[in-house]
A = this chain, B = another copy of it.
Amino acid sequence: MKKRLILIILCCSFFIQNIWSQEETLEKYNLMPWPKHIESNSAKFMIDSNVTISIKGETCPRVRNAAINFLRRLANKTGVFIDVGFPLKDTSASIEISFDSVSNLTVNDDESYRLIVKKDKVTIHAISDVGALRGLETLLQLVSHNQNNYFFQGATIADAPRFVWRGLMIDVARHFQPIDVLKRNLDAMASVKLNVFHWHLTDDQGFRVESKVYPRLQEVAADGLFYTQEQIKDIVAYASNLGIRVIPEFDIPGHASAILAAYPELGSKDDYDYKVERFSGVFDPTLDPSKKVTYLFLETLFREIAPLFPYEYFHIGGDENEGKHWDESEEIQEFKKKHNLETNHDLQTYFNIKVEEILKKLGKKLMGWDEILTPSIPTTAVIHSWRGEHEGLEQSTLIEAAQKGYQAVLSAGYYIDRMLSIEHHYLVDPIGDAALTKEERKRILGAETTMWSELVTPLTIDSRIWPRTAAIAERYWSPKNINDLVSMYKRLKVINYQLEELGINHIRNKDVILRNISKNEDIKSLRVLSKICEPLKIYSRNKGGTEYKTFSPFTLFADVCTADAEDAVEFNNTVSLFIKEEKKKSLPKINNYLTLWIENHEDFIEINKNPNTTPLEPLSRNLSETSELLLKVISNKKITKLEHDKISALLIVLDEPFADTELAIVASLKSLLTYCKTNYLMQ
């Protein structure tokens, strides 16, 4: 009995200690995604010129390549001149990597790893080579420093992903993204353990793949902006080296303007002037599902192109076909009758099944957006849920698909082109509270962040993808209960700069655009404004897709601004504190911000000399006036009716969109005003 008691006490104390250490650990380490298990220790592994790295296991270019890159990144990050610049083979070293097998990057792969950092030794052991890569990324996130040294923080980590499919989709059709953009984003993806690059290669605005069989696809449908087959092989190999598989998407039968500009004979209407689309939106041109030539074209094209992508999954889009051109074609109406296809959904399912047969012959599994989820589509298809519950459906198509026997991937909730805050996406759990059987759960492969490119160019795409995608990657990899926002923000701040080290341009390119706007005047005042403004959200920047063409300028103020505007986030948090009566900490900060915005207008006037600064003048001026009034009111703890009305009127103006952005502190300014009205003497 006594023994038992001691055991219970021991267990409890161990449990309590672990609870404590979990919180402390979250504070101590800046890991993202957070590992499945981590035990802290106080060892420091010093990073000096003697660091060596060895690889034990099969000869594997993937790990060798990763180890070389690890050494380069470590040297660049720390400035340490490492003597031995290449990994050793099967010998002792200060960092030892071992693994058992080489992965083919399928959904059945094991990406788990164990990482132990002690004072004089780091070991990474993994089942597969890809697991070893994941461990190396974690190790790089353990780099820390004091005044005199860089070191790896001691830890024992046993890690494995929650989902086997952790993707980022990049749309290269609306705006073409050159090879170097893709490569640097693949590097960044690997650094946060994403493992699927979904390449949205075709759409109304362009067909981006070289075809030797159908050369008009690149000659007519690409404006010269496409990937050669060699370049595609290069990207696939580059991604594979990072443990990332590449899933191509050829969007059919809708979103087909570019294909039909090249081969109009495949279209649903004979007399239509098909053209590469320059605007954004949903358009009518659609492949004709009633013609044999359509399937001949697809089979020939896919036979040529599918082998470039060595993985099983093949995405055919299938979204947003409103069937307008189908309705307008007599032949197609007859075809529907003949085949007992009642609705256009039935006709599209007919088409999908034919396409699936083509893909099956090529050893590929058909994947499509959730419109393909119709009663008669076979369960071999993979459902990519993008509409989710938010667009009027009762239940998530993800859960529905899994329950009906389909493999499924979620993107609803991860549409980063909507320009919403990171919190919004981070808190979307792919499964949520759905009660699933083990089989159903297994069918939910994972999720994908989608970067649609109507409004992004190579200059700005990084700041749209990152750092939000790093936090979302944690949602896909880490245990469900890792969802503390304070911890996420703290760690994301560190990861944000690690992305820069990898070549991501999200921070540096802001100044480039600001210099372009100011015509190389001092950009300080514009930088202040850009830190409190956010681009218009949920597609309202380009209403109906009619404001911006593909070749419009994307070097505007809205292109500098990002979701989660830096100063706005801090100011809004500070105002919340202030109103919660935590004035001691918050009041000086609020005063500082208000003073900054008052004085900023003087700097702005100095550089307001050209047509691109002019639209920002009302913002700068009204913000300055508002700040001046508020500062006075708060300092005096008195407010007159006149002051109140003046501020109110200014806030109405500041609440309006301007230059395709919105001022992200208006709600806080309103709260401050209400607070003043309620708490201060009204004169």
Contacts and interface: CB of A to CB of B under 8 A. Distances in A.
A551 B145 contact: no
B148 A611 contact: yes
Nearest to A511: B508
In this complex, the member of A509, A552, A614 whose beta carbon has the largest number of chain B beta carbons within 10 angstroms is A552
Contacts of A497: 515, 520
B553 A78 contact: yes
A644 interface: no
A76 B554 contact: yes
A145 B610 CA distance: 6
Interface in A600-620: 608-612, 614
B180 A553 contact: no
Interface in A154-199: 178-180
Contacts of A75: 551-553
Interface in A75-101: 75-82, 85
Interface residues of A, number: 58
Interface in A189-244: 223-224, 228, 230, 234
Q: Most chain-B CB neighbours within 10 Å: which of A509, A511, A550, A551? A: A551
B611 A79 contact: yes
Interface in A239-288: 278
Nearest to A609: B147
A512 B519 contact: no
A611 B76 CA distance: 13
Contacts of A81: 548-549, 552-553
Given A68-B223, A85-B550, A145-B519, 15 more contacts: A76-B553, A77-B555, A79-B517, A79-B555, A79-B611, A81-B552, A145-B610, A145-B611, A147-B610, A148-B611, A148-B614, A178-B180, A228-B230, A497-B520, A508-B512
Interface of A: 65, 68, 71-72, 75-82, 85, 145-150, 178-180, 223-224, 228, 230, 234, 278, 494, 497, 500-501, 505, 507-509, 511-512, 515-517, 519-520, 548-556, 608-612, 614
8 contacts: A71-B551, A76-B516, A145-B610, A148-B611, A180-B180, A507-B512, A507-B515, A511-B511
